[in-house]
Chain A
Amino acid sequence: MTRASGWRRTAYHLLLWLVVLIFFAPVAWIILSAFKTTNQILAIPPLVVFEPTLDNFRQIVADPNAGRFLWNSLWLSIIAVLIALAVSFLAAYAFSRFNLKATNFLMFVLLSMRMVPAVAVVIPLYLMYSALGWRNQPLAMLAFYAMFSIPFSVWILKGFIDGVSRRFDETALVNGGSRWHVLFRVVLPQIGPGLVAAFIFNLIFVWNEFLFNLLLGGRDVRNIPVSFSTDLYSDGGMNWTFVAAMTTVYIIPPMIIIYLFQRYLLVGMTFGTVRGEV
């Protein structure tokens, strides 16, 4: 775009903001609804101006189930992603530096795991978890989520490790460093952004995950998305105030994350295959 005169630039920026607000409107409406009482939500015509209430959030805090499901969402995603990062870092280094025959094949398999419909993947796992009595076991759920995060992490970290020159490795080895030294003291410090991007986006994916938790999990490991499909009804109808408040609580963290880590959004949403600035 060329430099336009003042008012045209202003008009252009206003247009951009208009587009942004149109896309954000549904979310804004839900956040607004979270501050309404039941009667205000049911009001016709819908209320835009009203007296906000925090009762819905108090209800969430008071509800022991809501707290437990939120806690499950939180610890499952963070710990699983940390495990996945450790495992994936080692694997990505092996794929990047040793010309293994299986590299291309394994990278392909990992990528195709991202492409398969989740419901096709969950069938054999469901059988396995049922047979071994692993359903509703926190550790089994955690291990699954670690597995779930590995393909993306390997892809993204391999990209970043490829970007670190092999000369660093060679120099360290020639000077008497062991390969572990190369791994943790030479390569690891240089791929910080890759680790951050992998951590952030896996966190979002596990945070959003629904189907596997529904089928492989149970009451003890249930996360919020599953509770949306099973626990939202009270007295036969939808508990809309609770829905609005709970969705608000649940969607705020990803929004904050993409505000803070906006430059990783592209790499995160494309499996680490596309890099660039937005």
Chain B
Amino acid sequence: MSLETLSPSSGHQETLPELRTNSFRRALARISHLTDDARIFPTLILLPVMFFFIVWNVIPTLWMIGLSFYRYSLMLGNEQFLGTNNYMSIMTDSQVWEALSRTFIWVGAGVAIQTILGLLLGFLFWGSRDMPGRRLALTLLFTPMVLTPVAVGVFFRLLYEPTFGIVNYLTTTVLGVQVNPLNDRAIAFGAVLLVDTWMWTPFMILITLAALGSVPKAELEAAEIDRIPWLKRLRYIIWPNAKFILMLGILLRTIDSFKTLDLVYLMTNGGPGNTTDLIALLLRRKAFEAFDLGWSSAMAILLLLTAIAFTSIYLYILNLNRRRQEAIV
């Protein structure tokens, strides 16, 4: 009886669950220490990423490399070892060279225009800290680059519509010229490039603002006090600090521009004629309309190598920038 009063059953019920969770936790803690080894742990936490990487990247890429030495068509279904013939036929294919040179013009002209516009507007927006409604303004300004390229392509088809599109209306009333931008061989390339410029100039503005933001304020103020002329400030203060971010931005834009597919595919699909046929569009057509997969694999590998070259340059500049930042800190 006294025992029962000393240890009331209700007390047991209160302490027991707590005890159980404690021992559970302790067991869990003990188990969680099993993987503490400095060799086991990193391997363990890299497993998921390695799984994704191997299944969705290594295997398909190896497969593609193998395929690039074969004649392989999904339509005809015949396989035949060709050695490096696919590569040879790419090198001698005038269509490929035309598409490549068109892509270079696309990238060169596009990135140059976007960089220049972006720099000018970036400098313009540099002093916009106390602009009324700045956050909304920047949202509207940066909207084009986060839009779905496909949606942009589709809605510019509406704007470029030759009968009721607003672009044609404006050129007719202001300039007295009727235009049908996406079906006119002379201006289709420019019309599509204009859309690309519209989408990506804001990106270069963003990069310019970031680059200017990386210039130490103290140096700028000192230059202000010393009344150093603008050109000198640009050359000795702004450029040395801003150049890395600018270069990263330009390089990133170059790579993305080189990759362009969705936007042009939806607007002209390479036409009219082949005036807007970029390399990515050509490859898509070869692979998924002609189903010439051996040839396409070889082409894809050449593009892969190009991308690796671009990546190396990008990383090189990135490391330069990192070293500079560490030097400042």
Chain A contacts to B: CB under 8 angstroms:
1-2, 12-13, 15-17, 19-21, 23-24, 26-27, 29-30, 33, 41-46, 86-88, 90-91, 93-94, 97-98, 100, 108, 111-113, 115-121, 123-128, 130, 143-144, 146-147, 150, 154, 173, 178-181, 183, 204, 207-208, 210-211, 215, 224-226, 228-229, 232, 238, 240, 243-244, 247, 250-251, 254-255, 257-259, 262, 265-266, 269-271, 273-274, 276-278
Contact = CB atoms under 8 A, between A and B. Distances in A.
Interface string B248-266: 1100100100110110011
B142 A265 contact: yes
B49 A154 contact: yes
21 contacts: A13-B132, A16-B131, A23-B140, A23-B198, A27-B143, A27-B144, A30-B155, A33-B158, A41-B164, A42-B163, A44-B164, A46-B169, A121-B300, A147-B56, A179-B32, A210-B149, A250-B151, A265-B206, A270-B252, A271-B252, A277-B213
A253 B219 CA distance: 40
Contacts of A258: 139, 142-143, 146
A202 to B, nearest CB: 12
Contacts of B23: none
Contacts of A150: 49, 52-53
A269 B287 contact: no
Nearest to A23: B141
Interface string B87-98: 000000000000
A98 to B, nearest CB: 4
Nearest to B34: A178
Q: Which of A2, A117, A232 has the most CB of B within 10 A?
A: A117
Contact of B262 (A20, A90, A108, A225): A225
B308 interface: yes
Given A124-B64, A127-B60, A178-B29, A16 B35 contact: no
Contact of A243 (B131, B158, B203, B303): B158
Nearest to B312: A108
A266 B63 contact: no
Contacts of A173: 36
A115 B309 CA distance: 10
Nearest to A84: B52
Q: Helix, strand, loop or mixed for chain B's interface?
A: helix
B32 A123 contact: no
Contacts of A41: 158, 164
A234 B150 CA distance: 19
Interface in B103-126: 121, 124-126
A26 B140 CA distance: 11
Contacts of B151: 224-225, 228, 247, 250-251
Contacts of A87: 48-49, 52
Contact of B148 (A1, A93, A251): A251
B59 A111 contact: no
Contacts of A123: 64, 287, 293, 296-297, 300
Contact of A266 (B49, B206, B258, B280): B206
Given A24-B141, A117-B307, 13 more contacts: A12-B127, A13-B131, A24-B143, A27-B144, A45-B169, A90-B46, A94-B41, A115-B308, A146-B52, A181-B32, A228-B148, A251-B147, A259-B139
A93 B76 CA distance: 48
A240 B143 CA distance: 22
Interface of B: 29, 32-33, 35-36, 38, 41-42, 45-46, 48-49, 52-53, 56-57, 59-61, 63-64, 67, 74, 121, 124-128, 131-133, 135-151, 153-159, 163-166, 169, 173, 198, 201-203, 206-207, 209-210, 213-214, 224, 245, 248-249, 252, 255, 258-259, 261-262, 265-266, 279-280, 283-284, 287-288, 293, 296-297, 299-301, 303-304, 307-308, 310-312, 314-315, 318
A179 B41 contact: yes
Contacts of A2: 224
Contact of B158 (A19, A179, A244): A244
A44 B163 contact: yes
A117 B127 contact: no
Contacts of B140: 20-21, 23-24
A19 B303 contact: no
Given A46-B164, A119-B300, A228 B150 contact: yes
B276 to A, nearest CB: 16
Contacts of B206: 265-266, 269, 278
A226 B148 CA distance: 11
A178 B33 contact: yes
Contact of A274 (B132, B249, B265): B249
A15 B52 contact: no
A166 to B, nearest CB: 13
Contacts of A94: 41-42, 45-46
B147 A27 contact: yes
Contacts of A254: 143, 146-148
